[in-house]
Chain A
Amino acid sequence: MPSDTEIIVCDDVKKWYGDFNVLRGITTTVKEGEVVVIIGPSGSGKSTFIRCINRLETHQEGRIIVDGIELTSDVRNVEAIRSEVGMVFQSFNLFPHLTVKQNITMAQTWVRGRRKSEADTKAMELLERVGIPEQADKYPGQLSGGQQQRVAIARALAMDPKVMLFDEPTSALDPEMIKEVLDVMKELARTGMTMMVVTHEMGFAREVADRVLFFDFGQVVEEGTPEHFFTNPQHDRTKLFLSQIL
């Protein structure tokens, strides 16, 4: 259950790509332990928004505060926040020249300064947790999509992040593999991890989310509990969206 501590605070976040106004003033807060699911049509700015939270994209106006540190152009703040915020990408982005285990230990040793034995133990624990310890010494190219995405989750978890960001984690997967990744994410949510998830998996949103944000035209059109959102949407745009996908 979410506590009262606010771990992510976004205040009127705005961003432009050239003349195009991608984010038109996003204001929201995420509490510790909360699972926030962001849905919306493509081009609505939901991925851009989640990427602003660990500054893979830079916002131009407004404030984003993560774990008490404001995101500014100061490199040190950015790197401090990035090591506290894990991110899982749509296309996995595993490092192809490293084995699965090295993928998970690399940042532990070089960024966190852990000893190699310690990092190895941690990597094996996490691989156990996502259910593929036997793949530790293979290269990412030898794994299926679902397995790769689970390695990517383990890689992010190895840094002991306070928040996990998921940017459409199942969109590049075959239907049979979506479930294995969602199961890992559900297990993660049960252990009390703070999560922000951009996804098209409505079943996941309904089952796991504490709160759903519906994005369109670079703004939060509607937000609420999954129950409210899926059974009793208020805004016309939300109703239209739901009628098209359900």
Chain B
Amino acid sequence: MSTNAEFGLIEASPPPEASQLGIVVWARKNLFNSVLNAVITVVMLAVLAAVAVGFSSFLFADERRWDAVTVNMRLLMVEGYPQDHMLRIWLSVGIIFALIGLTTAAWNAGGKLAPDSIQRMLIGAGSLVAALAVFGRPDAWVWMTVAGAVLIGIALVWRSSLGKKNIDKTIPTLGFLGGVIALILLVTWLLPVAMTTKVPWTVVFAALVGFYLVGRVLAGAVNNRTFRVVVLGLWVASFPYIYLVLQRRVDLDTDVMLTFVMPAAFLVLGGALIWAQLTKFSRDTAGVVTSVLVALSVASLIIPVAWDGWLELPVLGPLIGRVLLFALTAFAAGGRTFASGEGGARNVLVGWAGSVIAIAYLGTVVRGATDLGTFNAVYGGLNLTMLLSVTAIAASFPIGVMMALARTSKMPIFRLLSTGYIETIRGVPLITVLFFATRVLPRFMPPELAIDPVVAVAAGMMFFSAAYLAENVRGGLQSIPKGQTEAAQAVGMSTFLTTALITLPQALRTVIPALVGQVIALFKDTSLVTIIGLADFLHVARSIIPSQPDFLGVLMEPILFAALVYWLFTFTFSRASQRLEQKLGVGDR
């Protein structure tokens, strides 16, 4: 490397300093720099003020019945969930918050806050409270003004007490947030808030903090990557556990026994068969074995009912057996294509073990016996909304990715099936899919396999979302240059490895914005289930509360509250995805 000095060239100089504009100078320069702009500014400010006044006088009008929301909070959150079992709901919330704590620790999330930005936040909050006081009810406006003034006062005093030396010191955002939440909880203990609200939330917050601390310790002790994988695994397992086991109840019976015994047998014997298929059998033998398995799978579809009758087995055992048989057939048929290179057979066997365990796990939890009645009776409110959206989003992801891969595959049969699926689903409104899943499909099924409407709706949404997701992912796949595939193949990667390690990660990274848009849309689309008679969050706010004798016709308040909750969720999600994009350097590399 040569330097400028050696050649007597001009040295680099720092850029000119940007001048600090005062607010008056800034306003004059940007808002009042011509007569026309001054007029526009004044008019716009007037419009904004009118909107603010109108909205807040609406919010704080005497006839507003906000108690419709607070009194019905339980209804909004869980609808008709049995009151004796509320502990289960709180346990679910606790599990999720504990996982959030662990995740935050594992990814070492959270930045630093400067005193200046904290001061700005405090002053902002204080001014907002004080400004809203103008529209408050007579008994409240004094308190609001005082509270706002106190907030601003704290901000000013604290800031000036810091002194010159400490002004650049920062505090961790997480610590600040934790402190604020702890303060709010403390206040609930001083005020006459119901015990059933403040006790669980305090415990949940303690779980969040506790698991965060445990997570920090663990993150220091074990391999970070392993820790993160475990945390992700816990997330994946937690939702089925919450909705299918914790909020219902599994008793150990024949069904459940079979879901252990049968998968275990498949795991060992099927694993041996796949291994032989990959390493021992000749091409011809492997072909014969595959054909026999395909024939068995097809046969198991045609003669299921009679078989169940003869052996007097519960429905579930044969059902899981059938699913396992399909999986075995797929592995025996496709294994050879994917298991190339050294260690390929091992990878396929690991995949097989994973699939069997997943099928057994899902089989156990889906059909677990319960003493709380059907899903439909148990789930409602925000709980149902969460159940539907999480299930549909999480389950549609692998299906959508597989559909996208199939549609870009070289094999015509995959391409045809996937294209047919995607175009059919995309050509139909979501409501039609939901009606089909809950009203039409049961007519084709044997009566003992009757599907609960909640499960049917979740499945319908999953298949619907998968079609759109597949198209998004396909767009990402097509944006990956051909050179990437060639480079991967040139170092000996199989088609499977090339997809899993090179093209798919890049494609998914590219389509994050589209995927987030879809997830948000799906989250809000769950409110459509009200049409087929499920009581989701919006349904409670829109129909149930306004028809209560105490709150007859009170519609605005619960609806506004519902809008706020939907917005909070989607906004959090979109911020999280922005962080993810930054972290993955989308658009930068």
Residues of chain A touching chain B, judged by Cβ–Cβ distance below 8 Å, are: 54, 56, 75-76, 79-80, 82-83, 85-87, 89, 91, 93-97, 106-107, 110-113, 139-142, 152, 155-156, 159
Q: Are A155 and B340 in contact (CB under 8 A)?
A: no
Q: Are A110 and B493 in contact (CB under 8 A)?
A: yes
Q: How many Å from the CB of A122 to the closest CB on chain B?
A: 13
Q: Are B490 and A56 in contact (CB under 8 A)?
A: yes
Q: Mark B480-505, 1 if CB is under 8 A from A, else 0.
A: 01011011111111100100011001
B138 CB–A CB distance under 8 Å: no
- Give the distance in Å from the alpha carbon of A95 to the alpha carbon of B589 in the complex: 10
Q: Taking CB as reference atom, which chain B residue is nearest A96? A: B589
Q: How many Å from the CB of A133 to the closest CB on chain B?
A: 16
- Give the distance in Å from the alpha carbon of A112 to the alpha carbon of B492 in the complex: 9
Q: Which residues of B contact A85 (CB under 8 A)?
A: 490
Q: Are B505 and A56 in contact (CB under 8 A)?
A: no
Q: Are A112 and B484 in contact (CB under 8 A)?
A: no
Q: Are A156 and B589 in contact (CB under 8 A)?
A: no
Q: Are A82 and B492 in contact (CB under 8 A)?
A: yes
Q: Which residues of B contact A76 (CB under 8 A)?
A: 340
Known: A76-B340, A91-B483, A113-B343. A86 touches B490 (CB 8 A): yes
Chain B, interface SS category = helix
B341 CB–A CB distance under 8 Å: yes
Q: Are A141 and B501 in contact (CB under 8 A)?
A: no
Q: Which residues of A contact B585 (CB under 8 A)?
A: 139
Q: Are A83 and B502 in contact (CB under 8 A)?
A: no
Q: How many Å from the CB of B96 to the closest CB on chain A?
A: 30
- Give the distance in Å from the alpha carbon of A110 to the alpha carbon of B588 in the complex: 27
Q: Are A94 and B487 in contact (CB under 8 A)?
A: yes
Q: Mark B546-589, 1 if CB is under 8 A from A, else 0.
A: 00000000000000000000000000000000000000110011
Chain B: interface size category: 20 to 34
- Give the distance in Å from the alpha carbon of A86 to the alpha carbon of B491 in the complex: 7
Q: Mark B126-153, 1 if CB is under 8 A from A, else 0.
A: 0000000000000000000000000000
Q: How many Å from the CB of B336 to the closest CB on chain A?
A: 9
Q: Taking CB as reference atom, which chain A residue is nearest B494? A: A79
Q: Taking CB as reference atom, which chain A residue is nearest B347? A: A110
Q: Are B492 and A56 in contact (CB under 8 A)?
A: no
A-B contacts besides A80-B492, A96-B589, A156-B490, 15 pairs, CB < 8 Å: A82-B489, A85-B490, A86-B490, A86-B491, A93-B484, A95-B484, A97-B505, A97-B509, A97-B589, A107-B492, A110-B341, A110-B501, A111-B491, A111-B493, A142-B589
Q: Are A82 and B491 in contact (CB under 8 A)?
A: yes
List 10 tightest A-B contacts by C-beta distance, closest first: A83-B492, A93-B487, A141-B589, A107-B491, A93-B483, A87-B490, A113-B343, A82-B492, A113-B342, A111-B492
From A87, A89, A93, A142, residue with most partner B Cβ within 10 Å: A93
Q: Taking CB as reference atom, which chain A residue is nearest B584? A: A97
- Give the distance in Å from the alpha carbon of A159 to the alpha carbon of B481 in the complex: 23
B506 CB–A CB distance under 8 Å: yes
Known: A106-B501, A107-B492. A97 touches B506 (CB 8 A): yes
Q: Mark B456-483, 1 if CB is under 8 A from A, else 0.
A: 0000000000000000000000000101
Q: Taking CB as reference atom, which chain B residue is nearest A140? A: B589
- Give the distance in Å from the alpha carbon of A112 to the alpha carbon of B584 in the complex: 27
- Give the distance in Å from the alpha carbon of A82 to the alpha carbon of B341 in the complex: 10
Option from A80, A83, A107, A139 in Cβ contact (under 8 Å) with B589: A139
- Give the distance in Å from the alpha carbon of A96 to the alpha carbon of B493 in the complex: 17
Q: Which residues of B contact A112 (CB under 8 A)?
A: 342
- Give the distance in Å from the alpha carbon of A156 to the alpha carbon of B493 in the complex: 12
Q: Which residues of A contact B502 (CB under 8 A)?
A: 95
Q: Taking CB as reference atom, which chain B residue is nearest A139? A: B589
- 16 A-B pairs with CB atoms under 8 Å apart are A54-B490, A56-B489, A83-B491, A86-B491, A89-B487, A93-B484, A93-B486, A95-B487, A95-B502, A95-B506, A96-B589, A97-B506, A106-B491, A110-B341, A141-B588, A156-B490
Q: Which residues of A contact B340 (CB under 8 A)?
A: 75-76, 79
Q: Which residues of A contact B424 (CB under 8 A)?
A: none
Q: Which residues of A contact B490 (CB under 8 A)?
A: 54, 56, 82, 85-87, 89, 156
- Give the distance in Å from the alpha carbon of A234 to the alpha carbon of B459 in the complex: 74
From B340, B484, B487, B490, residue with most partner A Cβ within 10 Å: B490
Q: Which residues of B contact A139 (CB under 8 A)?
A: 585, 589
Q: Which residues of A contact B484 (CB under 8 A)?
A: 93, 95
Q: Which residues of A contact B584 (CB under 8 A)?
A: 97
Q: Which residues of B contact A159 (CB under 8 A)?
A: 491-492
- Give the distance in Å from the alpha carbon of A155 to the alpha carbon of B337 in the complex: 25
Q: Mark B16-45, 1 if CB is under 8 A from A, else 0.
A: 000000000000000000000000000000
Q: Taking CB as reference atom, which chain B residue is nearest A141? A: B589
Q: Taking CB as reference atom, which chain B residue is nearest A83? A: B492
- Give the distance in Å from the alpha carbon of A156 to the alpha carbon of B483 in the complex: 15
- Give the distance in Å from the alpha carbon of A110 to the alpha carbon of B346 in the complex: 11
Q: Which residues of B contact A54 (CB under 8 A)?
A: 489-490
Q: Which residues of B contact A96 (CB under 8 A)?
A: 506, 589
Q: Taking CB as reference atom, which chain A residue is nearest B483? A: A93
From B491, B492, B501, residue with most partner A Cβ within 10 Å: B491
Q: Which residues of A contact B343 (CB under 8 A)?
A: 110, 113
Q: How many Å from the CB of A90 to the closest CB on chain B?
A: 9
Q: Which residues of A contact B483 (CB under 8 A)?
A: 89, 91, 93
Option from A97, A113, A142, A156 in Cβ contact (under 8 Å) with B491: A156
Q: How many Å from the CB of B22 to the closest CB on chain A?
A: 39
- Give the distance in Å from the alpha carbon of A55 to the alpha carbon of B437 in the complex: 48
Q: Which B residues, 326 to 353, have Cβ-Cβ distances below 8 Å to chain A?
A: 337, 340-343
- Give the distance in Å from the alpha carbon of A80 to the alpha carbon of B489 in the complex: 11
Q: Which B residues, 439 to 463, have Cβ-Cβ distances below 8 Å to chain A?
A: none
- Give the distance in Å from the alpha carbon of A56 to the alpha carbon of B487 in the complex: 10
Q: Taking CB as reference atom, which chain B residue is nearest A99? A: B589
Q: Which residues of A contact B487 (CB under 8 A)?
A: 87, 89, 93-95, 152
- Give the distance in Å from the alpha carbon of A56 to the alpha carbon of B481 in the complex: 15
Option from A89, A97, A111 in Cβ contact (under 8 Å) with B341: A111
Q: How many Å from the CB of B257 to the closest CB on chain A?
A: 39
Q: Which residues of B contact A155 (CB under 8 A)?
A: 491
From A91, A97, A141, A152, residue with most partner B Cβ within 10 Å: A97
Q: Which residues of B contact A95 (CB under 8 A)?
A: 484, 487-488, 502, 506
Q: Which B residues, 514 to 548, have Cβ-Cβ distances below 8 Å to chain A?
A: none
- Give the distance in Å from the alpha carbon of A113 to the alpha carbon of B340 in the complex: 12
Q: Which residues of A contact B342 (CB under 8 A)?
A: 111-113
- Give the distance in Å from the alpha carbon of A139 to the alpha carbon of B487 in the complex: 17
- Give the distance in Å from the alpha carbon of A144 to the alpha carbon of B585 in the complex: 18
